[in-house]
Amino acid sequence: MSTPGLFSLSRKEGWNQYVNTPPRQRPEMLTRAHLDALGEDAREDYNDQRHDWHANFGIIQTPQLASLHEELDQIVASNRQDGDRIRSAAVIDALPGLGKTTIANLYGRTYDRQQRRRLGAVTAEGNERVPVFRVGLTSNTTLRTLNRMICEFYGHPATDRGSAAALASHALDCVLNCDTRLGIIDDIHFIDLDRKEGLAVSNHLKWLANELPVTFVYVGVGLAERRFFADGLTGKNTVLAQTARRWTRLGVEPFHLNSDEGRRHWWSLLKASERQLVLAEHRPGMLVDLAGYLFERTSGHIGSYFTLLMRGCYRAIRGKTEALNRDLLDQVRLDEASELARKQLAAALAHGTLSSKSKAAS
């Protein structure tokens, strides 16, 4: 039995744990006096609970997440064609750190739960129902390894042997027998269309879409810039590319402060985050008061923002300050992209290029 929280989404058992595990229980909020009264072991246990909570305190419904889930709902709901029809696919294509994988996984989890509730845990033929499969590609993915990864998700016994064609047949059997209706394939930017093997994998994705009664949700970085939707073709041949006709590209934008709506969305994220913090000296409004500073540190990328919060909370607990402030957060080192963008954003905020309101918020 796996430890709670330690599982792989690329295996059916791990995916089921992700889908079915109830939300974490928020640790009790203790006052400074109650915290100081704890014994050493009790305080260590309490702090450990808080570290775990701050690293996993749940998903905040951002406008980006809500918008993409609505788009995915529309695509999946319209893909009810019979088996002789080609289903369109969705591809979430954006820069790193904007929550692409989280958005796809959350949608898959919701869809999985809905299918099991409506149709039950067992198919009409008596097989286990697996509404969703999910795999992540690697930098050396080949046609054979892609088929093998799908088979491994289901736990098929023949994954360690067989040709690419045999594994593709096994993958088809798994999908059909388990009534799978949604397939999530992450990190497709690892497919190199300039290489023969990359083109073979890209073409195989089309074959899977043709043969499997599944709506595919692909996730990748910079796909449009890599000519992914043109299938690697150039010039007049670009019109022959099938991907651009079959895939609906869904982008994810970072937060911004150059409009009233953008500032409202950013402040809404900060307010929602504040409600999740379990720090004895934390007070409502502490994050909102740092709105400009937090944007400067993260350039509006939600992945960097949550990393800053998580590491800041760790420092606040270990250092016993029990609150987040600018001095403490200045000690937190973030990803290199955020650190490089910080100086430029700081200058823009200082000169009011983003807006006077966002400058005041810093």
Q: In 3D, which of 151, 229, 138, 147 has the Cα closest to residue 191? A: 138
**For helices 291-298 and 302-318, angle between their N-to-C axes, nearest 10 degrees:** 110
Beta bridge mates, 182? 132, 215
List, for residues 234-281, the tens digit of each pLDDT value.
544 443 355 656 788 999 989 999 999 999 999 999 999 999 999 999
Mean pLDDT value across residues 199-205: 85
Percent of residues, the chain, with pLDDT higher than 70: 85
List, for residues 180-195, the tens digit of each pLDDT value.
999 999 999 998 877 8
Q: What is the pLDDT of residue 245?
A: 67
**For helices 100-119 and 63-78, angle between their N-to-C axes, nearest 10 degrees:** 50
pLDDT over threshold 70, residue 346: no
Q: What angle do CA 359, 360, 362 make, to 5 degrees?
A: 70
Structural contact between residues 230 and 247, judged by C-beta atoms closer than 8 angstroms? no
pTM: 0.86
Cα dihedral value 206, 211, 214, 218, nearest 10: -20
Q: What is the DSSP letter of 94?
A: -
